[in-house]
Structure 1
Amino acid sequence: MKINVKAELGIAKSFEVKESNKNIRKTWALQKRMAKTSIDQANEDATPEEFEEMIDGVMELQDTVINYVVEILSLTDAQAEKVEDMSFDDTVALATRISSELLHIEQQPATEEDTGLEV
């Protein structure tokens, strides 16, 4: 499948990403890591030690997200540097888009009902 990242990285060419078991496994690992961090951050009564572990987890997630984008797209060192220069939120959005495309999941914004914020 072809993935275009011109909007995010300014690279005009599309990247060919195989829907291989290896890439799908990396995608599921990313999804699992992102879910774990989300669950860990929900602990509002964290002790100082748990809070420190949570920060370590967020740092690990950041590395995981960056590595996922770089590895899935097989970026060169110069292209990978562009990922390093992105904001974390933009990098997560890019990784989420790539993983959604690989898993053939259509991204849709969550409704208030989906998030439990319905009044």
Structure 2
Amino acid sequence: MIAQNYRRHPEALALQLVLQWGHRLVWALPRPTTRILRAIRAARGAAFAAAGRIAYPMKRSTPAWVREATQRARKLGKLVRKAQRALEFEAPRKLNGFAQHLRDMREAFDRYVFNIKSNQA
């Protein structure tokens, strides 16, 4: 079905084939023997010749100083993570009524100073 559609519309095949070709066009198919297949092959060749070679973007290389800086940054991050210390805060908790009452009483008793003296001197 797909091959039949491409035989009917060879320009669709030429538009969908985005391949990187060498200095000349080399087809993977054997030389067509029928007149219609030769016409299709000629149309494909003309389409590729008109479009020209496809220029693929070149991958930029990263400079050495950038790679070295990222390595040092990773090492520094590891050292900082190792040196960090967990901070322990006394998080306020929601207490029920009785526990809240006990905490209030403790705070009240902490305000007073008690001195215990022995009578046996």
Q: TM-score range by the shorter chain?
A: under 0.3
Higher RCO structure, 1 or 2 (CA under 8 Å, sep 6+):
1
Specify which structure has the higher proportion of helix: 1
Question: TM-score, with normalisation over the residues of structure 1?
Answer: 0.21
Question: TM-score, with normalisation over the residues of structure 2?
Answer: 0.21
